[in-house]
Amino acid sequence: MAIIDRGEAGGARGQPPEERQRPDLRALARHPRARLWAIRVAVAVVVGLLFAIVFDIRVGLTLAVVVMIADTVRTARAGGGDRGYPVSAAERRTERQLRGLAKEGWRVLHARAVPRDGDGVSDGKIDHLVIGPTGVYAIDSETWDKRLPVRAMSHTRLFHGPFEMKDRLDEARWEANQASRLLGKALATDIPVQPSVAIYGPAIPWRVMSVRNVDVYAGNQARKYLRKRPKVLTPEDVARIGEAAERVFPSKYE
């Protein structure tokens, strides 16, 4: 279903060219990537100096380089890559699933900041904001204790063992509502955003269940969940909403 325009929304005014050309060195120093590389270089220098003193300078230089390469590879395998910000194991797993969708024309954004309002119950981050033929989704990726069962009651209550997970549902719904409101404002039309929670760890005894209007499913079903729903957006809609999402929701960590 194509989106219907209700008029053009005003854009934010950009900075003058001369201001954009001046680098803010203090902001660069606070950037997560700068801190990551500063720590990486410091460790390599310390290791290199120690081995240069004990053996010789060539050994020290070689080991310093090896330390930097090893730490870069370790960080990439941990899921952070060179992004310089923390990524949970659950988010990494969902990211891997969603890569295939991006190749098929979907727009997939990760770790996007959401401005708080007076009733905000979230950390201000959407784990995954996905736009495709079947709609717009805000996905929370969660790892729960696999030893505790997951069950639902009357589509209104979700339990993980003895613990009711109302806060997790409220957070997912709040983030989706914020995304819907801000995208709708940017595009001057209604943009429904479906909240969902992808759970890793315990067995989920259903394919997809709506609990308090939040779709809940096993994390390894995320891509199938998105693809199997009815198509409601055209490719033009997907591109348009995706471009607006890029503007409205900056990276949480950059």
Gyration radius (Cα) of the chain, Å: 22
124 versus 169: the higher-pLDDT residue is: 169
- Choose from 55-64, 115-124, 179-188 the range with maximum mean pLDDT: 179-188
pLDDT level of residue 114 (50, 70, 90 thresholds): confident
The residues with which 158 forms a beta bridge, in sequence order, are 152
Q: What is the structure's pLDDT at 186?
A: 96
- The pLDDT assigned to 56 comes to 79
* Percent of the chain surpassing pLDDT 90: 56
- Report the pLDDT value the prediction gives residue 172, as an integer from 0 to 100: 95
* Percent of the chain topping pLDDT 70: 74
Tell me, what's the pLDDT at 71?
A: 62
C-alpha to C-alpha distance for 136 and 165, rounded to whole angstroms: 24
When mean pLDDT is compared across 7-16, 66-75, 91-100, 245-254, the lowest value belongs to: 7-16
Query: Do 75 and 81 touch, CB atoms closer than 8 A?
Result: yes
pLDDT at 236: 96
What is the separation of C-alpha 212 from the centre of its chain, rounded to a whole number of angstroms?
A: 23
Do 115 and 249 contact (CB within 8 A), yes or no?
Answer: no
pLDDT value for 90: 94
Nearest to 108 by CA among 238, 252, 248, 253: 238
Overall pTM > 0.75: no
Return the pLDDT at 10. Answer: 36
Find the mean pLDDT for residues 57-79: 66
Q: What is the pLDDT of residue 187?
A: 97
Query: Taking all residues of the chain, what is their mean pLDDT, rounded to a whole number?
Result: 80
Q: Provide the pLDDT for residue 176.
A: 96
Please say if the pLDDT value at position 254 is more than 90: no
CB distance 143 to 151 below 8 Å: no
Answer whether residue 78 shows pLDDT above 60: no
Query: What pLDDT, on the 0 to 100 scale, is given for residue 188?
Result: 97
For residue 143, name the pLDDT band (cuts at 50, 70, 90).
very high
Higher pLDDT, 140 or 14: 140
Predicted confidence (pLDDT) at residue 205 exceeds the cutoff of 50: yes
Q: Give me the mean pLDDT over the 168-186 stretch.
A: 95
DSSP label at residue 221: G
Residue 163 has pLDDT above 90, yes or no: yes
Check residue 116 and give its pLDDT.
64
Please tell me the predicted confidence (pLDDT) of residue 213.
97
